[in-house]
Amino acid sequence: MKKILFLLLFPVYLSAQTIPVLTQEGVAPVVTEIDSLSASELYNRTKAWIAYYYKNSNNVLAADIENEMLRINGYRESFYVVPSMFPYYYDVEYTITFEFKDGRYRYGFNVISATYKGQTNINTPDIFFKKKDGSVKKSYKKPYTDFSMSLLNLYMDHFDFITKYKKE
């Protein structure tokens, strides 16, 4: 159901702004423009999102330069799945860096590790790109799609929160 909704809404959202995309080099950072918000407001709303989204928000905060930059170290179970007779559900440890300017912020996502049942996968998601032309290998289309969906969901959770945030 999520994928159907994603496919219906994706073209509308894509035309509105740029989203993070997984490439052979990793996840390409994006700059999101929100003209109505200052760097200070973007920074404060992102801090509020971190407190809302993560159980131990103080533990995930890796760097904090007031009104300029936030970096978090996060972890998500079942970030993507590699299908087989017995599917491999990969948990992903990641870093997100937010850099703020008036009216915009830069969102950078970096995979630290992908693990299956506690065993670290040395090959991060760039393994999806195995063809010489840089395209996704047929057998990796499902994990690539799952990874992209998880990435988009995380990005959209943040974007929706900061654009709709009302200080109580």
Distance CA 8, CA 10 (A): 6
Pick the closest to residue 117 from 60, 78, 74, 73 (CA basis): 78
pTM for this one? 0.84
Distance CA 121, CA 115 (A): 5
Per-residue pLDDT of the chain (168 residues; tens, 9 = 90+): 545 444 444 444 443 458 998 887 888 899 999 999 999 999 999 999 999 999 988 899 999 999 999 999 999 999 988 888 888 888 999 999 999 999 999 999 998 888 887 676 655 666 666 677 778 878 788 888 999 999 999 999 999 999 997 776
Distance CA 150, CA 129 (A): 18
